[in-house]
Amino acid sequence: MTPLERLRAFFVGDDAVERLVPAAPIMVWLLVFTAAAMAALATATCAAWLTMARVVDNWAGDLAQSATVVIDAPLDEMDAPADAALTALLQVPGITAARLVDRTEQEALLAPWLGALAGTGDLPLPRLILIEQGDARADPVEVALALEPVAPGARYADHGRWRDPMVAAVTRLQWLAGGALLLIGLATTAMVTLAAQVALSSNADVIGTLRLIGATDGFIVRTFVRRLTLRTVLGALIGTGLTSAAIAIVPDGAIFTGLGPLGGDWALMIVIPVLAGAAAFFSTRGAAFRMLRGMQDL
């Protein structure tokens, strides 16, 4: 039998062979349910890992090249030092662009926290200057020296004080998500192995009869492997599909956008049922051959 024929026989099956080994409906559906639950957990964890990876890239990339300057002055005297500070900042090496943030944009940034109060116009908001930097970032000392003559009360922040700890924290969460995926994979393998042992034990008499009439161990193993592997893949497809659909319809929040997989990331989700099927195939095959060898020794 060629490899292609073997692959076709594995997926299509043989009704006559299937009837030789009676199925236990409760065990079969329990296996499907457990595989679906494990795949749902893996899909949700994978989506969280992808989201955290995107957050790390944004914070470590875009925000690393940005900074802000806050101009503190009486409200009726704030425009002049803000304009002078903007001109001075553009002369500092490493700063590629700078712009004043108008009040409407500031109110939009505060809206998620202050709600309607942010748009009343009664808040004494300072003037903000957004700075973009090149690969060679501006020296904070040079920035301070440039701001001192024109805006003595200005405060410069390059976001590093809060960005770096948050990037480190999210990176650790990624490692935890990776560890959770590994545990889910090990639990799935253990679950399928246990199911294989139960199926083989409950059909010990049938297996003994098949051996007496000349059936090889490979023939017997293939029957159990096919049944349990396809049930595991079915459950994994259900769990992955339902969880992916739930993630896809969750609306983006006001603060965090782009939650879950985006674009080509969705292709990674199909890997989960494939890995579940591979785990089922090899764990069932190993358990079946170990049990058959044990039966030979009796």
For the segment 139-197, what is each residue's pLDDT rounded down to a tens digit?
A: 888 888 888 888 887 888 776 666 677 777 778 888 898 899 999 989 988 888 888 78
Residue-wise pLDDT for 12-55, tens only, equals 555 545 555 555 567 778 888 999 999 999 998 988 888 887 77
pLDDT of 183 reads: 93
The per-residue pLDDT for 255 is: 41
In this prediction the pTM is 0.67
Q: Is the pLDDT of residue 207 over 90?
A: no
User: Which tens digit of pLDDT belongs to each residue from 55-85?
Assistant: 777 666 656 677 888 887 776 777 788 888 8
pLDDT of residue 94 exceeding 70, the answer is yes
Tell me what percent of the residues of the chain surpass a pLDDT of 90.
10
**What does the pLDDT read at residue 64?**
64
pLDDT at 256: 47
Query: What is the pLDDT, as a whole number, of residue 266?
Result: 77
> Which pLDDT value is given to residue 296?
63
Q: How far apart are CA 196 and CA 287, in angstroms?
A: 7
Closest to 6 measured CA to CA, from 218, 204, 172: 218
Mean pLDDT across the stretch 241-245?
Answer: 89
- The three-class DSSP label of residue 78 is coil
Is the separation of the CB atoms in 239 and 37 below 8 Å? yes
Q: Which of 288, 290, 278 is nearest to 229 (CA)?
A: 278
DSSP 62: T
> What pLDDT is stored for residue 162 in this prediction?
65
* Residue corresponding to tokens 């579940």: 276
- Of 34, 61, 21, give the one whose Cα is nearest residue 209: 21
The whole-number pLDDT of residue 78 equals: 78
User: If pLDDT is split at 50, 70 and 90, which confidence band does 254 have?
Assistant: very low
